[in-house]
Amino acid sequence: MAIASNSRLLIAVGAVFVLLILAAAAFVITSRGGGEAPVGGEATGTTTPPQATGEETTTPAAYETTTSVATTEQARPISVLVLFDVGGRGDLSFNDMAALGADRAAEELGVDVVFQTPQSLAVMESVLDAASRSGEYDLIVLVGFLWQEPLEKVAPRYPEQKYALIDAATRERYDNVASYLFREQEVASLVGIIAADIANNISKATGEEAKAGAVAGMDIPPLWRFHIGYLYGVQYYNQAMGTDVEMVWTYTGRFDDPTLGKTTAEQMLQQGVRVFYGVAGLTHVGMFNAVKEAAARGVIAFSIGQDASQEWYDPQTIIISGLKRVDVAVYTAIKDVVEGRFRGGIVSLGLKEGGLGLSDEEIIRYFAEIAAETGQLPEGLTPEKVVEIVMSQREKWISNDGWRLVEELKQKIISGEIKFVTPQDHDTYDSIIEELKAGNLEAALES
């Protein structure tokens, strides 16, 4: 029962990842295709739509208001509305990360925060329009790419209303919209070092060849950036340690197929891959299951998650996760409004800005606690037990040299010594990968 329940939850997590990746790809290649309509989110709170002061030809469907935090002595505190995507709070991914950042802003900056979740894609524009028309909010935070198209329609109608769009960007610039994007190569390069180190240590223990791999989704620009960063990290480790860890990157062509993810990972296991990075949304949930089953058969193998902390799903084999710090993006957006520094345009977040990172004890515990509260944590585990198991596995399989190189590369990126290129076409991407395979690390960097 626990496994089935957890699978459903990670399916939701994976679905969010899939949609975000596809939207980012669509943005990068400047496609103007419409978004797909996901199903509605889970309703857990009171139904209280915002007041509409003008004519309304479309009646917004019901949506929920889940939380309100007000702690300030000001006569009129800064008021923030956080609009989750349809997954809502409790998704153990982007929405919960957003709530974490908003809660921090309420506590540290004394702002009032209201959370709402639309119940379907169909009502998102009308919900956003009504909230904007109300004039109640100094800032409206929109979590995820599903808000991109509704925002592009609504933002021009309310030029005085400030918006923060998280992990997506409008296709045209608006002075009242700040779009927060992430530099994926940076976190993937740190993951590459970790994966190479674990593969090398498994090789020492078993005598097998050292192979790290990745189960990826579709061959699209956001995944090119993950690929470049990951391979860069593996090769950075090889050159620093004098090793020859091989990297196997496999596109499945799907973000929504855990069965395909599992069979792909099983084939890679047969090829000797022992460390797997999941960048395929729902598809890489199947990868998690393949690695877990292999470990049960006595194979030493590990998985690495992406975006949110995913260790709680199986802490024995999911040893670390790359993070997109949506909480940092939300907190930064609110703080900019509080301090009068809000500006429209793109805000790029990477390691330097704290917008990316690797999962630590605090974030592992945070997501394990949510999993426990929602009945999703596997039987026999507690949040503390999850942290204990993960830290024990890291102590055993990630060396001090591995951590040293992670910190070294991280500081080079933060200082600006290393800046990754962003390929604009497939030929350039292919060329960079071939150069990296040949050991030319400079090929992945800006000159």
3-class SS of residue 49: coil
327 assigned ligand-binding residue: no
pLDDT digit string, tens, across residues 342-370: 999 999 999 999 999 999 999 999 999 98
Please give the full DSSP string across 160-173, using - where no structure is assigned: TSEEEEES---SS-
pLDDT of 218: 86
419 is in an annotated binding site: no
Q: Give me 51's structure tokens.
A: 């007041």
Q: Give the predicted TM-score (pTM) of the model.
A: 0.78
Do the annotations mark residue 400 as ligand-binding?
Answer: no
Question: 84 among the known binding-site residues?
Answer: no
Give me the sign of the Cα torsion angle 17, 420, 273, 304. Answer: negative
> In the 8-state DSSP scheme, what is residue 367?
H
Q: Which two tokens mark 153?
A: 């329609």
* Mean pLDDT of the residues in the chain: 85
Residue 246 φ/ψ region, left for φ over 0, alpha for ψ in the -120 to 50 degree band, beta for the rest: beta
Q: Is 430 annotated for ligand binding?
A: no
Q: Which residue has tokens 């515990």? A: 365
Burial 9-39 (b: 16+ CB within 10 A, else e): bbebbbbbbbbbbbbbbbbbeeeeeebeebe
Instruction: Determine the average pLDDT of the residues in 54-78.
Output: 43
Quote the CA–CA distance of 374 and 395 in Å, as a whole number.
29
Of residues 45 and 142, more confidently modeled: 142
Q: Is 307 annotated as a binding residue?
A: yes
Pick from 234, 195, 180: which is nearest to 20 by CA? Answer: 180
What is the reported pLDDT for 23? 44
| Tens-place pLDDT, residues 240-273 | 999 999 999 999 998 778 999 999 999 999 999 9
Enumerate domains of the chain plus CATH numbers.
Answer: 79-182 (3.40.50.2300), 184-323+360-444 (3.40.50.2300)
Of 355, 19, 430, 305, the C-alpha closest to 186 is 355
Average pLDDT over residues 230-238: 98
Rounded distance between C-alpha atoms, residue 202 and residue 76, angstroms: 59
Q: Are 75 and 61 within 8 A, CB to CB? A: no
Question: Considering just the CA atoms, what is the radius of gyration of the chain in Å?
Answer: 22
Model confidence at 280: pLDDT above 90 = no
Question: Smallest Cα–Cα separation from 283: which of 245, 256, 305?
Answer: 256
pLDDT band at residue 10 using 50, 70 and 90 as cut-offs? low
How far is C-alpha 42 from the geometric centre of its chain's CA atoms? Answer: 21
Start-to-end CA span in the chain (Å)? 53
For residue 167, say whether it is annotated as part of any ligand binding site: yes
Q: Sorting pLDDT into bands at 50, 70 and 90, what band is 282?
A: confident
* Token duo for residue 54: 């003008």
